Structures are given as C-alpha cells and as structure tokens.
Amino acid sequence: MTEVEGAPLLSLESISRRFGNTVALDSASMLLRSGTVHALLGENGAGKTTLMRIAFGMLKPDGGAIRLRGKPVSFRVPGDALENGIGMVHQHFSLVPTMTVAENVALGWRGAHRSTATRKSRLRSMLFDPASAAARVHEIAQRAGLSIDPHSRVDSLSVAAQQRCEIIKALARDVDILILDEPTAVLAPAESAELLNWVRRRADAGFAVVLISHKLRDALAVADDVTVLRNGSSVYSARATETSERDLLNAMLGATTARTPLLPAVEAVASNVETTLTSRAASNVVPSTPSTVSLSTRSTENHINRRAIITLRNVSLRDARGVERVRGANLTVNAQEIVGIAAVEGAGQRELMRLLARRVVADSGDATINGSVGWIPEDRVREAMLSDSPLFENTALRGASSLHGRVAWNEMRVRTREMIRAFDVRAPSVDTLSRTLSGGNQQKFVLAREFADEPTVVIAENPTRGLDVNSRVAVHGELRKARARNAAIVIYSSDLDELLELCDRVYAMHAGRLTETAFDRAMIGRAMLGVYGAMDGTSST
C-alpha cells in the first residue's frame, strides 16, 4: 500500500452496498489522483462496476463516504455526478442507433446548459440546431483527439466508433473524471491499443481516468495507480510502477487460488500488435489443474497423419439479407486438435461458426463435417438455454428435434444429475431453473450437455466470455479433455490470449476471408484487420 501524496481528486472510503442478501461491496476504498489513470481491477463480480456506479450516482452506497476534492459529496442521480465533473462510459452503450452522433451527444446537453445559460440562450438550447450541434461535437472531438464524424448515424458505426461517441458524450459535459467500464472488452487489439493510448494522453493532459478492467495487461500498460477488488473489498492498491503482475494476480484471486498461467510480458500489449511474442511456448503454459492434458498432446508434428473431421473447400455463405459473410473459405480441422478463429466482431466468424455447427448450410462450395456436433454458442442464455425451465428440461433441449412419443423425463433427470456431478455444476438439484445458476455454472452445464454424447466435432464461440477465472480454467480444461478424446474443436474468441493459450492452430478471419496464420500474436492481430488494411479501427465493421 503506497501513500498517496497531495489531496486526492476523488476518494471513495469504505463503501459498502448490498443487493438483497448479496453483499456486492464491503468496505471498498479507492483514491483517485488528478492527471492519472487509475486501473480498477478484479474478477467478474468483484464489485468494480458497482463501486463506479456509486461514484457516478447511479447507486447509493449503504455505508462509507465519497469525497470530491476533499469535500464530502452525495449524488442522488448521475446528473449530480455529471454536474460535479464525473462522467462514465458503460460497458453496454446507451446510444440511440437511428440518430446521428451529434444528435446523441446533444441529448445530454440540456442539463449542462441550464446552470450557466442566459434566458435567451436557454430558449435557444430548447431548439435543436443540427449544424451547431455537429460543429460543437466536432470541436469536442478535435480537442480530445478522437476521430468521429458527427453526421454519421450511430448504427452505421463500428463498435470502436460508437465507443468514441459515448466518450464524447461524457466529455461534452466537461468532466474531469472519466470512468470507462471494461472499454477494451468490445475492441480488437489495434483498437484497444488506440484507446489505451488515448486514455494515457488524456491523463497526461491533467484529467483523471478510471479504467475498469479484468485484463491485467491493459491495466498495467497505461495505469499510474492500481486498485484491486476481491469479493467487494479493496484488497490491494499500489503505484503501477511498484507492483508486478504476480502481485496483482495474487490479489485478484487470493494468493492460494491463483492458478492461471502467467500472462506474457506486459510490454507486449503496451506496444501491442507491433510487438512480436518471442515464443509460442510463452503463451502456452497450461494451468496445473488435474483436469488438464499433458503438454505432449500439443506437439504439432503428428497432426499430419490424423483424420480430417472438418473440411471446407471454397465455401461461401450469405446471410438473410443476401450479404456474403463467408467468402471462399478453406479450412481443415483434424481429430485431436483445437483450431482457433481470430476475428473482429462482424468479420463473418458468426456465420462461419454456425456453418461449422451445421446450423446453416453453405450457399456454395464443399463443406464436410463428420459426425455429431457439440455447439457452444456465444450467448448461452439466448441461444443455448431455457432460462425459466428446470435443468433436466434443458438437458432434453439437445436433440429435442429428434425426440419421439413420450419423453423419458426420469431418464433425463438421471442424466442431468450425472452431468452436474461430472462437470461440477453448482446447482441445488436437477429441478433448479437454469436462470438461477451463475454464468460460470450455466456455461459448465451447456458444456456438460453438449459433451455428454462425446461429439466428434465441438464448435465454441467465446466459450469463457463473462466468466470468472476459476470457471474459465474449468471450461478450458473441458475443451482440452474433449481434444484428448479425439474431438475436432473449433473455437472463436475475441480474446487473442485465449486462442494462443488453448489452440494448436489459428486462422484469422477478415471481411469473410479465412486465412491460416502463424502462431504469433502480432501476425494474427494484423491478419484480423486484413493484413494491409488501415489500422484506424473504423474499418472493422
């Protein structure tokens, strides 16, 4: 714990907050200094977002104090926080998709104007003048060093540009403190680097930024100070220069439970795609859980003589609107290997994964997918589960189309009970409604169901998105187990580290084209953005 000199800009002192009988925050503290980037780290559910929502006035604390420039403050609504110069960009954007950037930004103006405006200008501010709004947005963007076209409709923008729009929305209210909730989660590596660079510059210009993250690399790359939350309490805070990844990881997980692989060197992200990771082995350290397969199965030499399970030859696929999403894809996946697909959202990977899972049929080309498919879609609640049905009915969902006559529910219950035991799903019983499970347990349940009949093909999209570290390790372990029993596995992940950690080979996908890529962070990063393409992030839709 380092001593912070000078009066902190914002101090959160022993904040606590409960939701029903769940304790979300229990004595969480954090000191934010002017002109710094403060990384707020922690696993999913550690309370990072809750703490920042309290600072932003969205939630009221049950206990503790908030001081802004030394004075105690209490915010009733986010508007109060904005008046005091605190802005927040949420993980899920709140933009009106059919309106332009300028209109979206202007939506938040009224309150800001009211305090200073004369009667005449207040009257004028009630009328919307598109040209002056656009000019103002342009000016804010220029000053902040963010590139955006004020006249674009939000739904035509890439995710990165939408995020810039959200940031500008906050900056338009003249905030000193900007809170970014998991800003890099939705971005491609190059876009993340660009954003983090911007965050750094903003702090250097004298403003304060809070960066909520569960990615150590992102945080350490730009942060001055770091605070770690675990189970709702602040367990560690330090200057970024005086801490190490190991310390942070231990703090996040609790010293005894830290069993994730050490992440590759931090500098690799700081300078991002330009840096080449020296060896593949560095990113391939396997966690030492009993469930993992020995490293020897990962050797690449012998997959030539293995059986090809999936073969795509010049396969193309159009979506419902007739847009060609997969263009002339060639892909071979053998038994006993995990192939990764690296892509930016919207590159056609979604359609490719559904094609591989035999959920859609190719428009042209030859697609051979042998045997049964285990399918782990990205959005498990929407695509893989019946939230309001008990687990044993969720078990019957796989293969529901081929059931006949009476359903043997008793057998389903027995099977579900076995699945729950085998995959360590924490559920009180097979009658539990699936929505009452935590995200990690839901995902383990889906894996258990899809793996129950030992499918020869496994197709998984972002299989650990939103999961905490322990569930992530468990899911990875199950995928490795599936590989060990001869399955051919294809994984799409928006997290490059996950692919490098898990896969034997990686293909990158850009604008519908699939290319096998060297097993190298920088190379994959470039291929995802279309090798020679612009790196400005706006090309990614």
Residue ranges that bind other proteins, judged by CB under 8 A: 20-21, 359, 375, 377, 382-390, 392-393, 396-401, 403-407, 409, 431-433, 436, 446
Contact present, 185 and 91 (Cβ < 8 Å): yes
Q: Whole-angstrom Cα distance, residue 5 to residue 396?
A: 61
Report the residue number, 270 or 386, with the smaller CB distance to other proteins: 386
For the chain, the distance separating the N- and C-terminal CA atoms, rounded to the nearest angstrom, is 43
Report the residue number, 391 or 469, with the smaller CB distance to other proteins: 391
Contact present, 75 and 10 (Cβ < 8 Å): no
Q: Whole-angstrom Cα distance, residue 497 to residue 407?
A: 43
**DSSP letter (8 states) at residue 121:** H
Q: Whole-angstrom Cα distance, residue 127 to residue 110?
A: 10
Report the residue number, 311 or 436, with the smaller CB distance to other proteins: 436
Q: Which of 85, 89, 39, 35 is nearest to 203 (CA)?
A: 35
C-alpha 408 chain-centroid distance: 39
Cα separations in angstroms, 517 against 333, 458, 509, 527, 531? 14, 21, 10, 7, 11
Report the residue number, 4 or 433, with the smaller CB distance to other proteins: 433
Q: Using DSSP, state whether 444 is helix, strand or coil.
A: helix
Q: Which of 361, 343, 376 is nearest to 527 (CA)?
A: 343
Please, what is the minimum distance in Å from the beta carbon of residue 9 to other proteins? 37
Report the residue number, 313 or 358, with the smaller CB distance to other proteins: 358
Please, what is the minimum distance in Å from the beta carbon of residue 442 to other proteins? 12
- H or E element at residue 331: strand 324-334
Please, what is the minimum distance in Å from the beta carbon of residue 541 to other proteins? 23
Report the residue number, 128 or 409, with the smaller CB distance to other proteins: 409
Buried b (16+ CB within 10 A) or exposed e, 13-40: bebbbeeeeeebbbebbbbbbbebbbbb
Report the residue number, 198 or 445, with the smaller CB distance to other proteins: 445
Report the residue number, 88 or 448, with the smaller CB distance to other proteins: 448
Please, what is the minimum distance in Å from the beta carbon of residue 23 to other proteins? 14
For the four alpha carbons of 305, 309, 315 and 316, in that order, the dihedral sign comes to: negative
In DSSP terms, 178 is beta-bridged to 87, 209
If you count them, how many residues does the chain have?
541
Please, what is the minimum distance in Å from the beta carbon of residue 367 to other proteins? 17
Cα separations in angstroms, 361 against 235, 352, 353? 51, 10, 11
**DSSP letter (8 states) at residue 134:** H
Report the residue number, 174 or 383, with the smaller CB distance to other proteins: 383
Contact present, 456 and 488 (Cβ < 8 Å): yes
Q: Are strands 308-318 and 324-334 parallel, antiparallel or unpaired?
A: antiparallel
Please, what is the minimum distance in Å from the beta carbon of residue 335 to other proteins? 23
Please, what is the minimum distance in Å from the beta carbon of residue 370 to other proteins? 17
Buried b (16+ CB within 10 A) or exposed e, 501-522: bbbbbbbbbbbbbbbebebbbb
Report the residue number, 119 or 321, with the smaller CB distance to other proteins: 321
Report the residue number, 139 or 411, with the smaller CB distance to other proteins: 411
**Phi and psi, residue 342, nearest 5°:** -105, 130
Please, what is the minimum distance in Å from the beta carbon of residue 297 to other proteins? 29
Please, what is the minimum distance in Å from the beta carbon of residue 453 to other proteins? 14
Contact present, 31 and 210 (Cβ < 8 Å): no
Report the residue number, 76 or 406, with the smaller CB distance to other proteins: 406
For the four alpha carbons of 425, 427, 432 and 433, in that order, the dihedral sign comes to: negative
Please, what is the minimum distance in Å from the beta carbon of residue 332 to other proteins? 25
Q: Which of 524, 486, 528 is nearest to 505 (CA)?
A: 524
Please, what is the minimum distance in Å from the beta carbon of residue 368 to other proteins? 19
